[in-house]
Chains A and B, each alone.
Chain A
């Protein structure tokens, strides 16, 4: 297990290094000089030069890459070109919206998908199964931002159960905070729940054909008892992997959903920074998201290997 973990950790580091190089390179070839963008077209050459020195733009590319990486390792993400505030602070503020939103959506998606998948598998080929499967077909075809607009139309504009957008902030209490994240979380969770329900169903159907399930039945367990005691636990392995992967989709998906609900999260930060060409913010947020995704996948791999010893020897 230790050997496997170290090997995976090494590949995690390589992935992160290559990812950071790619992101840095893409931002580097972006046209336009941040200093002249900040000062406008009428800037004096010496002020421009001074600002370039202050921002570290006069250093070589390699120096800037190294200082970006070492800075990030210390938690220093640089200073925003437009707001002149530390990027780490801006990210930390927004994180308190995006992360709870992604986790909320993950919880919802699991809460919907598990019963739906189990129900469909237990009613295989019958009307109940067909209904759930058709619903999941529809679920994966609906763009989440459109679903979000429909939720706003019905539950915010017509029924007035929720606000159409904005975030109350956590200082008004957990309930108020969760209340304002509910519609976005539902919109985000829907397509993921559809995928997860399909995975849950097929994982269970695979398990139902296994010998140990037949043994469980032969022992006198009813279909339902065998499914709950033996089937579900074994089916969870592939399902957990998908849940891990979904976290990254949810985090990335929240970027668009935040636009629909005007939520002050990482997504809005990215778009604001793009429109003001505040590329250092874009660079750091993207790196952070990639870091989160790669790390979550790494943890899922480790958890998977811990559960299923056969995997450790394979790589």
Chain B
């Protein structure tokens, strides 16, 4: 044993052991301190991170709100201008309706409608103004209105019609949503294909089915579309990409706000996308009247008896605001082809039909019997009746 105690090696080992133990102990202490420090640092960091995230989000929201407000009022101005221009164009079109200028006016009108639609889409994304008030319109007219708002409207073909109208409140939103769908359909299919529209009555309301013969959507695009249409509504114009893809974001928002449904999850028989817009019953009404009913006094005046001095009784203008033709002298009406007795409220189109029938009668008389023809055509009142334009 003494041998061992005398052995310096043992002492060296002992000292080394003690030193190691002390070292380890110290190391542990430092490690513990470090760990604590790290922990506090981590918690501090998380706290900072949260705060940072919050303030960034707040800043982002504020910036987005500001962008929205600015865009909203800017778009309102643009929409107003587009609508104003549309009115001017309508006026010009009826003023220069018979000149070659009309062709160019129609083209400008088309461009203006597209421009108005773009502004409208951005406005929808910014919770803005949707446009002027509309009267109740037939589903067919709303679809055609949407058709007019896209560039390649000639490629859109409406294959069926239904006898339903859309309530005035829903006319613009439905037209805008359809226009975005048509735009997608025509942009993602080749220029020589047709986009087919079918309008169908279903138990839940009315379906507008849009089929294109394009390349269809990839899974990624489909997922994005589904997300925007069903679950996650877009807000603001951020995150639309470059070039921005407004379509589904706008449609999703309109669906939520006005209560119709759009789905793009089936594929069209032509290989492209089939989009289905479901308009529920609360957005639908009966087919709107084509023309406003004639005011009562006019209808009363028109019950004037046959053959009397009509010129004095019949008002000078028709319901359309056109000068009413007056018989200058009594006419001989061919027996048998005489029109049905005058009803109390004969519409202007009926009036026109009657005039046309008369014209056809005198015409057949003139061509059929030459000797009679001379007599008939010598009556200036009759021959000028059917086509008299003054």
B and A form one assembly: no
